[in-house]
Amino acid sequence: MLGTLNVSQTGLNAAKVLVENVSNNISNQNTEGYKKRVVQVSELEQMDTRFTGRGVNASSSYRVTSQYMYDKLTSENTKSNYYDKLSNMIGSIESIFAETEDSGFSSDLNRYFQSIENLRTNPNSEVYKTTLKNSGNNIVESLQNLYTTIESQQLTEKKELEVNVDKVNSLLKEIGAINEKLEKYDTVSNDLLDKRDQLEFELSNYVDISVGRNNEYYELKIAGNIAISNNTNIRTFTILENNTNQIDKFYDKQYNADKTFNIIDPIKSNYDTSTDTITPRSFVNGDSITYKINNEYEVSVTIGDNLTADWDNDSTTADTTQVIDINNLTRALVLKINANADTKNLVTAYNGDYSLDSKGNKILNTVEDKFLRIESKFPGTQNQFDGRISVNIASDTNKTALFKNQEESKDPESTVAIGIFDKEITLKSGIIKAQVDNLSSSASNNKYQSYLDKLNSFAKTLADISDKFVKTGTNTYIYGDAATDASATGATVTNIGLFNGLNIKDLKFNESAVNDLNQEKLDYLATLQWKDNISFDGLGQNNGNSGKSISFLEFFRDIKVGVSADKENNDFLKETQNNVKQSLKSAYDQLTKVDNDEEMLNLIKFQAAYTANAKIITVIDEMLQTLLGLKR
């Protein structure tokens, strides 16, 4: 009978604990990160050979969770945040290009072309000239506003990236601090485990993570790289930035080793693709080779001229004088580029590739011509330049324009990456992944850079095609400066100079050129509005390029459509990914979140158990009282 009393007492205690657990679940149902608790109930072990049990034990509570579902949810959450962030970024760009019927760059461009048409009807009208000057300046201002606004957005994202990296490091430290506390407890603390899960999930907003929790050994990886090991060893993340120089190499791929020739300066020779042969050019005194940079500055060398310079690149010896001929053309051009007041601040020229000695000093080629190598003076995309060579040789029917070898040259880069101990890591998804991709100029999916490059192409082509032309027929022309460099020898090149600059930042409208516009120039400029085969690759308008050729207005509309298409495509992926995430979250929440209906049923059940055990104790008490009251 006393054993039964003890069993009932354990039942009362277990029911009390179970009711308290239900109350705790209901109280914390809105606590962020809380997972419902279940009390571990088990039969007390037998201590003798008695047939009946010793009662019930409510020893501990545990969290209801699924580690597999949780890990999958964090993975899908990372992807969702990547698309969410990218959608916001592209959306901000889309708003920049928003236009109405009467405002926006498209309207400014139409008004510019209309002002040319108006002036064409009366070239002496001061009103029409003033209108053209205003509309030309508006074109420049509108383009620059578009460009600088995108740059401002990039700068904002870069600052936010710094904040996000600090947040990642802060979350890692918090997780490490929780692990330290968990090590101090003999039993696992459910609230600390909930908090750690919550921090891990928040961390997955920014970067892709994977977590190992085997045998009390905690390890968290970001992008496959260890961020927390052995529970509390934490590695800090940093932002890595690197800028590289632009390198232009002027030689034809046909001249390299795969044609069994050494690298020969193509200025000196012609390569005939039809016969696969190389024939030397015939130079005479007065022939010239010109290097042009940014359609603004140029440096020339002329056959037969004397050039006094440091030919051996030895500053300890006096300068020497050489006559420029076919054998020292490249070295002469290098010397003049590096001495010119305008070009030397932008680029440095070399005679072929240089090597480095043990101290890092450059070993230059000074004995014989190699090929022309041009490097930007300073690294980074902000120091990008555009250069080409024009060759004017009397014995050639046509002039020649030489552009850099696209395969061997290198564009400048401004890269942003995330690293651990200065070692770059490759993120797969998350907010930071979206930011890094759009802050590195070399990233293939950099949306910002693609829009900036297209705007620069527009400005570059506008400046080039409005600069010079050669009239070849009644209404036919060779368009632009780059194209006229390769026009027929002796052809009459007409200078306009309406716009100056290689890119949008340098673009300027030359108001003084408006006063020099005659009927011939205006007739040429009038064709630009309707010209639908303009090349925007920077290689001239008549170079047989295979790139897309459209009109100015269509090219700009393509940029706008491209932005909208990027936004729409990303939003589709975003919606799909969010649906996947939401499906997983719903299943996970159903498992781990507190259900009021379920808890109320448990409360009724445990209350009934408590009442039943209390009734048994009452009955036992009555029986004991009866026994004690018996008289012999």
pLDDT tens-digit series, residues 324-367: 998 899 999 999 999 999 999 999 999 989 998 888 889 998 88
Average pLDDT over residues 66-81: 94
For β-strands 355-356 and 347-351, DSSP reports them as: unpaired
> What are the residues facing 347 on neighbouring strands?
376
Q: Tell me: the pLDDT tens digits for 299-331?
A: 999 999 999 999 988 877 888 999 999 889 999
Q: What is the pLDDT of residue 260?
A: 44
Q: Burial letters for 594-617: b for 16+ Cβ neighbours within 10 Å, e otherwise?
A: beeeebeebbeebeebbeebeebb
Cα gap 52→619, rounded to integer Å: 18
Helix orientation angle between 447-465 and 126-184, rounded to the nearest 10 degrees: 160
Average pLDDT over residues 594-608: 90
Q: What is the pLDDT of residue 316?
A: 76
Cα gap 215→224, rounded to integer Å: 20
- Of 44-58, 372-386, 590-604, the poorest mean pLDDT is in 44-58
Average pLDDT over residues 453-475: 90
Categorize the per-residue pLDDT at 48 as very low, low, confident or very high, splitting at 50, 70 and 90: low
For β-strands 477-479 and 493-495, DSSP reports them as: unpaired
Q: What is the pLDDT of residue 313?
A: 85
For β-strands 217-222 and 209-214, DSSP reports them as: antiparallel
CA distances from 398 to 283, 478, 483 (A): 14, 13, 12
**What are the tokens at 307?**
């050039």
Residue with tokens 């108001």: 511
Q: What is the pLDDT of residue 448?
A: 93
DSSP code per residue over 423-485? EEE---SSHHHHHHHTT-TT-TT-HHHHHHHHHHHHHHHHHHHTTEEEE-SSS-EEESHHHHT
Categorize the per-residue pLDDT at 51 as very low, low, confident or very high, splitting at 50, 70 and 90: low
Q: Tell me: the pLDDT tens digits for 80-113?
A: 999 999 999 999 999 999 988 888 999 999 999 9
Cα gap 459→144, rounded to integer Å: 9
Q: Round to the nearest angstrom and report the end-to-end CA distance of the chain.
A: 21
Cα gap 365→344, rounded to integer Å: 19
Say whether pLDDT at 139 is over 90: yes
Residue with tokens 């076919």: 326
Q: What is the pLDDT of residue 45?
A: 78
- Of 180-189, 230-239, 304-313, 436-445, the poorest mean pLDDT is in 180-189
- Of 188-192, 297-301, 582-586, the poorest mean pLDDT is in 188-192
Q: Tell me: the pLDDT tens digits for 381-407?
A: 888 898 889 888 877 766 778 888 888
